[in-house]
Chain A
């Protein structure tokens, strides 16, 4: 297992695998997103309370998931680089960083739209948006810290450390909708027990989750490949 682990850290091996994976990730992402968009916009029934405005979840929830997932990946890659002194970890963390900011923007924009549609106010949905903004500031900090050092190695280590510290925010964002009173609904899919959502609404959402993750994966591995 350790041989495999160290082979994963070898740049030529990683570049070769990354170049092969990119088109597969992209093709599967296109299929999953295509199915999710058509099923979510055309065939899923309107919500009994939110009407057709609920369809925003098909882009908002995958963007929110991706913003947390990508931050965690960045911290894990940084931790691997710091603990095992594997330089590839810093490279992966840098590639994850390069695609992440825009996902945050999509998530925030959709969250504001939901607030405006139902509450008449841009920040109507509350705590999750606030903590998401905290994570965005942390991310900007990590992005700015790395080039602030003349020695690239020291910059990488400092950025990795800050990313690891910031991970504390990830579970807070996830559970903020439960811990604080807000208009954001509680967990519907990622919870213990059966999702409280009918299959006709759930399948397109899961497909969009998969599609967004694969698309993000394609962006990250193509960055690694170059």
Chain B
């Protein structure tokens, strides 16, 4: 039964890459959003630090 599931009735080479690609796309979206958020936080922290040093 497990073999039947993985072979997808002979269409495994079409079905699994589609699901794999979709999973990769979702993961990439998540990773990219987190990376951009971290970069935005860093930029903001630097800008705040520069503003504070100029005031001082």
Across the interface, do B29 and A102 meet the contact criterion of CB distance under 8 Å? yes
Interface size counted on chain A using CB atoms at 8 A: 31
Q: Which of the candidate stretches A56-64, A77-85, A135-143 sits at the interface with the other chain?
A: A56-64
Complex alpha-carbon distance, A60 and B19, angstroms: 9
**Residue A116 lies at the interface, judged by CB distance under 8 Å to chain B:** yes
A56 touches B14 (CB 8 A): yes
Cβ–Cβ contact A113 & B9, under 8 A: no
Contact with A along B16-43 (1 / 0, CB 8 A): 0111011001101110010011001100
**Nearest chain A residue, comparing its CB with the CB of B24:** A106
A59 touches B22 (CB 8 A): yes
A110 and B18: CB pair below 8 A?
A: yes
Q: Does the CB pair B9–A46 fall under 8 Å?
A: yes
A98, chain B: closest CB distance, angstroms: 8
Contact across chains for A113 and B25 when beta carbons are under 8 A apart: no
| A51: contacting residue among B9, B17, B37, CB under 8 A | B9
Number of A-B residue pairs with CB-CB distance less than 8 Å in the complex they form: 67
Interface residue from B11, B15, B18, B37 paired with A109 (Cβ < 8 Å):
B18
B15 and A53 within 8 A (CB): yes
Shortest beta-carbon distance from B28 to chain A in Å: 6
Asked if A155 is at the interface (CB within 8 A of a chain B CB), the reply is no
- CB pair A117–B29 under 8 Å, yes or no, is no
Q: B45: CB under 8 A from chain A? A: no
Q: Scoring A residues 41 to 75 as 1 if CB is less than 8 Å from chain B, else 0, what string do you get?
A: 11000100001110110111001000000000000
Q: Which residue of B lies closest to A56 (CB)?
A: B18
- Cα A16 to Cα B24 with chains together (Å): 29
Check B29 against A106 for contact (C-beta < 8 Å).
Answer: no
Q: How far is the CB of A50 from chain B (nearest CB, A)?
A: 8
B9 A226 Cβ-Cβ under 8 A: no
Given A56-B18, A59-B22, A226-B40, decide whether A99 and B8 contact each other with a Cβ distance below 8 A. Answer: no
- Please report which residues of chain A, range 157-185, place their CB below 8 angstroms from some CB of chain B when the two chains form the complex: none
Closest 7 pairs between A and B when the two form their complex, measured CB to CB:
A52-B9, A53-B11, A59-B22, A52-B8, A226-B40, A117-B14, A51-B9
Residue numbers of A with Cβ under 8 A of B are 33, 37, 41-42, 46, 51-53, 55-56, 58-60, 63, 99, 102-103, 105-106, 109-110, 113-114, 116-117, 215, 219, 222-223, 225-226
